Amino acid sequence: MDDGFVPRRFPRRHKACALSTNPYIVSMYRNDISGGNPTPAGEGDPMSDSQLYDTIGTTYTTTRRTDPRIAAQIWSALGDARTVLNVGAGTGSYEPPDRDVTAVEPSATMRAQRPPHAAPCIAATAENLPFADQSFDAAMALATIDHWQNPIAGLRELRRVARRIVVFTHDRGDPNRFWLTRDYLPEHANLWTGRPTLPELASVIDARTEPVPIPWDCTDGFYEAYWRRPEAYLDEAVRRGISVWSRVGPAAEQRAVHNLRTDLASGRWAERNHELLDLDTAVLGSCLLVA
């Protein structure tokens, strides 16, 4: 999407779904659907969400795959919704196959990696959704809200266009909850300074909070996914699928990886975190906001 593009607000939801088949609408959005044009960067941010994922997203599908146990919890939270908007949809993970899904994703790189069978995808941002009020039964935003320029505005947009909302996010209230932040990458906690807290986000949409246990063998390689497999964080490909590493910068990343490698070799990591080794799941702050 070039800087002069203004997303059209579809008066009815079925027109948005027709993006992949309606010749007139496809001609309007051809570059946006195929990933040809970038979304304009957010003002005042040195690297917007779309820019970040245009940079690191080229290998995203290698390590970020739908975890069926997390998917089951998300899909259950959607209730009986038949029409679902997926905001910050990325490559299409967690899109329910048995529902009518429309996707929104600002990054051209991420859109280009969506599989052929994925839902139709529009280049737009959470803060300015191109849909009429109450167009969808439900809207979901999964592991994306941390990258929005204005999370409060984005949540209000979700509330405007959908009757039900499911957000997969994280409670940043206790940075010492996860050993990687506590012992190796304290810079992670600084990334959220000035951002809305979980209670503030929940209050915007009057949501309840539902913890999401992370399986020890989680197939979706987000930041906390390898809590019982620490050696995974030594893998460059794994780290490139986690935006945090790009955000903290190379010096912090190299120091954290070096120290973790040293502690794994010496046995210090296992000594510090022995209580995790027999757990099948861990509650590390990941949660759903359901409204």
Mean pLDDT over each residue of the chain, to the nearest integer: 84
Contact 165, 205 (CB under 8 A): yes
pLDDT at 62: 75
pLDDT at 59: 58
SS3 category, 67:
coil
Handedness of CA 80, 82, 83, 85 (dihedral sign): positive
Q: Confidence class of residue 137 from pLDDT cuts 50, 70 and 90? A: very high
Domains of the chain in sequence order? 13-172+189-212+283-290 (3.40.50.150)
User: CA–CA separation, 240 vs 69, rounded Å?
Assistant: 23
User: CA–CA separation, 118 vs 107, rounded Å?
Assistant: 16
User: For residue 65, what are the contacts with CB-CB under 8 A and spacing of at least 6?
Assistant: 93, 219, 220, 221
Considering the entire predicted model, what is its pTM?
A: 0.80
Residue with token string 């007139």: 24
Is 47's pLDDT higher than 70?
no
Task: Work out the average pLDDT over 267-277.
Answer: 98
Is 123's pLDDT higher than 70?
yes
Contact 178, 242 (CB under 8 A): no
Residue with token string 């990343």: 253
Handedness of CA 17, 22, 23, 28 (dihedral sign): negative
Instruction: List, for residues 220-263, the tens digit of each pLDDT value.
Output: 999 999 999 999 999 999 999 999 999 999 999 999 999 999 99
> What is the DSSP secondary structure assignment for residue 114, as one 8-state letter?
S
Instruction: List, for residues 55-65, the tens digit of each pLDDT value.
Output: 444 555 678 89
pLDDT at 63: 80
Is 172's pLDDT higher than 70?
yes
Task: Work out the average pLDDT over 49-77.
Answer: 75
Percentage above 70 pLDDT, the chain: 79
